Amino acid sequence: MKHGAAAIYLSILLTFLLIEGRGQSVLDRKVFIQANDIRLGTALQLIADKGGFKFSYNSNIIPLDSVVNLYAENVSIEEALDRLLSKQYEYRQAYNFVMLRYAPRELSMVLQESVNYPSLFVIRGQIVDSQTRLPVMYASVYEKKLLQTVLTDRQGFFTLKLKNFPQAINITVSKENYKEISTVFLAEVIVRPSRRGVSGEYRDGDLARVERTRLGRLLVTSEQKIQSLNIGNFIAQAPVQFSLGPGLSTHGSLSGQVVNRFSFNATGGYTAGVQGMEIGLLFNINKKDAGWFQFGGAFNLTGGSVSGLQIGGLYNNVLDSARAGQISLGHNRVAGSFHGMQVGGLYNQVKHNFDGMQISTGHNRVGGSFKGLQLGAVFNLVKEDFSGVQLSLGYNHLQRNFNGFQAGTFNHTGNTASGIRVALIGNISSGSTRGGQAAGIFNYSKELNGFQAGLVNISGTPGGYNFGLINIVKGGYHRLSLSANESIDLNLALKTGNQNLYTALLYGRNASSTNKLQAIGLGFGKQLSIYKDLSLNPEISSRYIHQGNWKDTNLLNRLDLNLDYPLAKWISLNTGPAFTVFYSNQSVQKKDYAFLKDKGFEFGNPRYRGWVGWNVGLSFSAAPRSQ
């Protein structure tokens, strides 16, 4: 019983500690760390592991390779960081992240006036450096709940006018490389100063990258860029925003820090994001995410991710991922992964993986893998694996594996190609082909485990099946044959392919002056090993017989069962029976068609006739026969 009671007590204690730990701020959690002569980056990772969170910081401003010592016994994470970083940084919590912001200096507010009018609260003052007492220009002075802000002038002075103010007003001052300070006002009396804000939400990540794009540098105002530098990752939310331009908004220069439910931009606007609907008659620029509907008459530029439907007249640019329908008459670009449908008049680009449908009258480019349908009138490019359907009037290029159906003027796969590939000109597979390739001119595969159909087929291994006039196969079947049979005195055949299937280009003629004819045809054969070097080569072929004109149809169709026996490394003897079916619609009015008469034809109407014949000849190999 004692053990049972102890277990129950321990369980209750652990549950209490777990609940208390979850309710704590990350910076208030206690840690114990003792480390000597370790890298600063390693020390930060130890603190993160002990505290159960992750750090977010710019590695360019923190000397991660410097050697440090740290001894922290049952102290808060904030105190441990102060000891480690010598109080040169400011710490901000965003969910389970702690953001490190370089802030070696401190600010002070010199209050000049705070006046409470019936509908307006006015605060005037000066922001100075705490140590030097010199004025600090372009510092952000703002009220987080009311989303009203102002920048200090060159002498550090500011005037902040607040409408619809609450009983308690929290004024926050932020400046790059300075620790943030906050002051709470009640009517005209200062209640308390503090270095931490009492409201607002901080977000992890680089939220200013949209301002570094070409359009961001051009259209975002300098005042908004300064606010981004000072306020950093502070993001607020509001139901509605209206703007005439990026600097003329109902949220003023703080518009880049506010996520709105509805945003209307008469010409264009700059916001932290939208979770609802945003309409810009010319353009929309979002610092972070956009959803669920966004329309920009000229373009949309989003620094985060997009979900829902995004329509841009000329251009859509998403600097993160998208799960959406994206439509533009010009160019669509997603820097992360994409799931959904992308329709671009000229050009679609996804830097990472794509899952869905991509359609363009010009060019489609995917930097990762692709699953779905890709349709580009001119050019399709996928840098990793592809699974689905790829169609182009021009060129399809896959740098890795392909699985599905592919059609274009020219197709190229950098590795394994599985499925069916159809090309007007040619197919190239730099790896293996598992499935089929069909092209108007040529097919190439480094390793063939399926079939190729084209005028010229090239493969690096003797596997699979080649259907073409010329088949060039490494280690395959390449022979020139001379033979005679019961119908044609002299036959010449070029046989290319492999043992599974080879193609024969046929030419023949009779030497007799009374039975002149020429024969041109095509055949297919297969080599079957019987015993040691002896093999059976069944061949089926069809020849057009020319006996004086090309108007009439004379077709000689044969099945040859040749035994093949090597006489030397380069030469083989071929002989065996044959079965022939001859068709002709030629009307005989002359006396020089002895070939037809010899086979018992009754002329004047199309006739079929078959007979058993023979074949004998020699084959010369392009390479010596393997021993």
Within-domain flag for 5: no
Burial, 108: exposed, middle or buried (Cβ in 10 Å; 0-12, 13-18, 19+)?
Answer: middle
Within-domain flag for 174: yes
Q: What are phi and psi of 198, to 5 degrees?
A: -100, -5
Within-domain flag for 10: no
Domain count, the chain: 6
From 394, 412, 438, give the residue that closes a domain: 394
How much is the pLDDT for 471?
94
Which one, of 215, 59, 197, lies nearest residue 140 by Cα?
197
Distance between CA atoms of 240 and 264, rounded to whole angstroms?
8
Domain with 420, as residue range(s), is 401-471
Within-domain flag for 8: no
Whether 430 and 514 map to the same domain: the answer is no
Q: What is the mean pLDDT of each run of 10 residues along the chain (627 residues)?
A: 42 38 68 83 85 80 84 83 84 78 87 80 89 91 83 91 77 88 69 46 74 88 82 81 85 84 92 92 93 94 94 94 94 95 94 95 94 94 94 94 94 93 95 93 94 94 91 93 92 94 93 75 94 92 84 88 91 94 69 50 61 93 63
Whether the CB-CB separation of 321 and 304 falls below 8 Å is answered with no
Distance between CA atoms of 285 and 297, rounded to whole angstroms?
12
Within-domain flag for 288: yes
Whether 442 and 325 map to the same domain: the answer is no
Structure tokens given for 37: 């002569």
Q: Where are the beta strands (DSSP E) in 399-533?
A: 402-413, 417-439, 442-448, 451-453, 456-459, 465-467, 470-473, 477-485, 490-497, 502-509, 518-525, 528-531
Whether 458 and 514 map to the same domain: the answer is no
Within-domain flag for 187: yes
Query: Which three-class secondary structure state does DSSP give residue 575?
Result: strand
Whether the CB-CB separation of 510 and 489 falls below 8 Å is answered with yes
Whether 38 and 113 map to the same domain: the answer is no
Upper half-sphere CA count for residue 111 (Cβ side, 13 Å)? 16
How much is the pLDDT for 314?
94
CATH assignment at residue 163: 2.60.40.10
From 172, 199, 226, give the residue that closes a domain: 199
CATH assignment at residue 38: 3.55.50.30
Whether 174 and 145 map to the same domain: the answer is yes
From 444, 471, 498, give the residue that closes a domain: 471
Whether 481 and 617 map to the same domain: the answer is yes
Query: Cα separations (Å) of 460 from 428, 446, 449?
Result: 12, 4, 11
Whether 504 and 573 map to the same domain: the answer is yes
Whether 510 and 553 map to the same domain: the answer is yes
Query: Cα separations (Å) of 194 from 17, 100, 197, 314?
Result: 29, 19, 8, 48
Which sign, positive or negative, has the C-alpha torsion 329, 330, 336, 338? positive
pTM for this entry: 0.72
Whether 359 and 372 map to the same domain: the answer is yes
How many other C-beta atoms are found inside a 10 Å radius of the C-beta of residue 590? 7
Q: What are phi and psi of 79, to 5 degrees?
A: -70, -40
Indicate the helix (H) or strand (E) that contains 9. helix 2-23
Which sign, positive or negative, has the C-alpha torsion 75, 76, 80, 82? negative
Whether 488 and 595 map to the same domain: the answer is yes
Within-domain flag for 247: yes
How much is the pLDDT for 468?
92
The residue whose two tokens read 């949309």 is: 300
How much is the pLDDT for 49?
86
Within-domain flag for 9: no
Whether 484 and 611 map to the same domain: the answer is yes
Whether 227 and 166 map to the same domain: the answer is no
Three-state SS string over 478-493 comes to: EEEEEEEECCCCEEEE
How much is the pLDDT for 265?
92
